[in-house]
Amino acid sequence: MSINKTYAVLGLGRYGRAVAEELVNNGAEVLAVDIHQSNVDSAIETIPVCKCADITEPEVIKRLGISGIDVVIVAMASNLEASVMAVTLCKEAGVPTVIAKCGSEMHQKILSRVGADRVIFPERESGIRLAKNLLTSGFAEMIELSEDVAMLEIDVKEDWVGKTLIELSLRKKYSVNVVALKKGNDITTTVDPTLPLEKGAELIVIANPAKLKKLR
66: domain CATH number is: 3.40.50.720
pLDDT(62) > 60: yes
Q: Write out the residue range of the structural domain in which residue 194 sits.
A: 143-215
Quick one: what percent of the chain has pLDDT higher than 90?
A: 45
Last residue of a domain, one of 79, 109, 137: 137
Here the CATH number for the domain that contains residue 172 is 3.30.70.1450
> Range with the lowest mean pLDDT among 21-25, 28-32, 53-57, 183-187?
183-187
Residues 84 and 168 in one domain: no
Last residue of a domain, one of 122, 137, 152: 137
The burial of 182, by beta-carbon neighbours within 10 Å (0-12 exposed, 13-18 middle, 19 or more buried), is given as middle
Quickly state the pLDDT bin for 140 (edges 50, 70, 90): very low
Residues 84 and 180 in one domain: no
Residues 59 and 77 in one domain: yes
Residue 41 lies in a domain: yes
pLDDT at 216: 57
Residues 53 and 109 in one domain: yes
21 sits in which H/E element: helix 14-25
Residues 173 and 210 in one domain: yes
Residue 1 lies in a domain: no
Domain count, the chain: 2
pLDDT at 1: 43
Residues 123 and 147 in one domain: no
Quickly state the pLDDT bin for 139 (edges 50, 70, 90): low
Residues 10 and 110 in one domain: yes
Residues 14 and 57 in one domain: yes
Residues 74 and 109 in one domain: yes
Exposure b/e, 60-97, CB count within 10 A at least 16 = b:
bbeebebeebebbbbbbbeebebbbbbbbbbbebebeb
Residue 154 lies in a domain: yes
* pTM of the shown model: 0.61
Going by their DSSP bridges, the two strands 50-52 and 29-34 should be labelled as: parallel
Residues 119 and 27 in one domain: yes
Residues 133 and 171 in one domain: no
pLDDT(2) > 60: no
